Amino acid sequence: GESVGLHLPTLSVQEGDNSIINCAYSNSASDYFIWYKQESGKGPQFIIDIRSNMDKRQGQRVTVLLNKTVKHLSLQIAATQPGDSAVYFCAELGWASARQLTFGSGTQLTVLP
Amino acid sequence: NAGVTQTPKFQVLKTGQSMTLQCAQDMNHNSMYWYRQDPGMGLRLIYYSASEGTTDKGEVPNGYNVSRLNKREFSLRLESAAPSQTSVYFCASPRGQTGFDTQYFGPGTRLTVL
Q: What is the pLDDT of residues B67-114, one digit of tens each?
A: 998 999 999 999 999 999 999 999 999 876 556 666 789 999 999 999
Residues of A in contact with B103 (CB under 8 A): 46
What does the pLDDT read at residue A1?
A: 30
Q: Is pLDDT at A84 greater than 90 in this prediction?
A: yes
Per-residue confidence (pLDDT) for residue B94, from 0 to 100: 82
> Taking the CB of residue B65, how many other CB atoms lie within 10 A of it?
14
Per-residue pLDDT tens digits for A93-105: 865 555 678 888 8
Q: Does A40 touch chain B (CB under 8 A)?
A: no
What single string gives the DSSP state of each residue in B38-106?
-TTS-EEEEEEESSTT--EE-S--TT-EEEE-SSSBEEEEESS--GGG-EEEEEEE-SSSS-GGG-EE-
Kindly list the residues from chain A whose CB atom is less than 8 angstroms away from the CB atom of residue B56: 99
Non-local CB neighbours of A92 within 8 Å, separated by 6+ positions: A2, A4, A25, A27, A30, A32, A33, A34, A101, A102
Contact state of B101 with A49 under an 8 Å Cβ cutoff: yes
**Chain A touched by B40 (CB under 8 Å):** yes
Among the listed ranges A3-7, A74-78, B21-25, B63-67, which one has the minimum average pLDDT value? A3-7
Contacts of residue A96, defined as CB under 8 A and 6 or more positions apart, other chains included, come to: A29
| pLDDT value at residue A102 | 86
Shortest CB distance from B42 goes to which of A41, A43, A104? A104
**Cα–Cα distance measured from residue A55 to residue A24, given in angstroms and rounded to the nearest whole number:** 15
| CA nearest to B85, candidates B65, B68, B105, B104 | B65
Strand partners, A68: none
Distance in angstroms (rounded) separating the CA atoms of residues A40 and A37: 10
Compute the C-alpha angle B82/B83/B84, nearest 5°.
90
